[in-house]
Amino acid sequence: MSDMTAFIKGLPKAELHMHLEGSLEPAQMFAFAMRNKIDIPFKTVEDVQAAYQFTNLQDFLDIYYQGAQVLVTGEDFYDMTSAYLQRVAEDGAWHVEVFFDPQTHTDRGIEFATVIDGIVGALKDAEDNLGLSGGLIMCFLRHLSEEAAFDTLKQAEPYTDVLLGVGLDSSEVGHPPSKFERVFAAAKERGFKLVAHAGEEGPPAYVHEALDLLKIDRLDHGNRALEDSELVDRLVREQMTLTVCPLSNQKLCVVDQLTDHPLRRMLELGLRATINSDDPAYFGGYLAENYSAVTEALALEKDHLITLAKNSFLGSFLDQPSINAHLTAIDAYAAAT
Which residues are catalytic, by number? 200
According to DSSP, residue 214 is labeled I
The count of chain residues that interact with ligand HPA, using the rule CB under 6 A, is 10
337 CA to centre of own chain: 29
Q: How far apart are CA 21 and CA 71, in angstroms?
A: 9
Q: How far apart are CA 303 and CA 148, in angstroms?
A: 45
Residue nearest to ligand HPA (CB): 169
Q: How far apart are CA 30 and CA 309, in angstroms?
A: 35
Q: What angle do CA 176, 182, 186 make, to 5 degrees?
A: 130
Residue 141 carries which side chain, given as an amino acid letter?
A: L
Q: How far is the CB of 165 from Zn ion (least distance, A)?
A: 14
Establish if 201 lies at the interface with Zn ion (CB under 5 A).
no
Distances (CA, A) of 144 to 59, 83, 141: 17, 29, 6
Q: Which is nearer to Zn ion, 33 or 166 (CB)?
A: 166
Residues 56-95, one symbol each (x = binds ligand HPA by CB under 6 A, - = not), give: -x--------------------------------------
Residue 223 interacting partner from ligand HPA, Zn ion, none (CB closer than 5 to 8 Å by kind): none
Choose the stretch contacting Zn ion; rule: CB under 5 A; options: 129-137, 201-209, 271-279, 298-306.
271-279
Q: Which is nearer to ligand HPA, 11 or 196 (CB)?
A: 196
Among the listed residues 209, 279, 288, 323, the single contact to ligand HPA using CB under 6 A: 279
Per-residue burial over 222-238, b if 16 or more Cβ lie within 10 Å, else e, is bbbbbebeebbeebeee
Q: How far is the CB of 57 from ligand HPA (least distance, A)?
A: 6
Establish if 197 lies at the interface with ligand HPA (CB under 6 A).
yes
CB neighbour list of residue 29: distance below 8 Å, 6 or more residues apart: 40, 42, 48, 67, 70
Among the listed residues 278, 280, 281, 311, the single contact to Zn ion using CB under 5 A: 278
Q: How far is the CB of 174 from ligand HPA (least distance, A)?
A: 13
Q: Which residues contact ligand HPA (rule: CB under 6 A)?
A: 19, 22, 57, 169-170, 197, 200, 248, 278-279
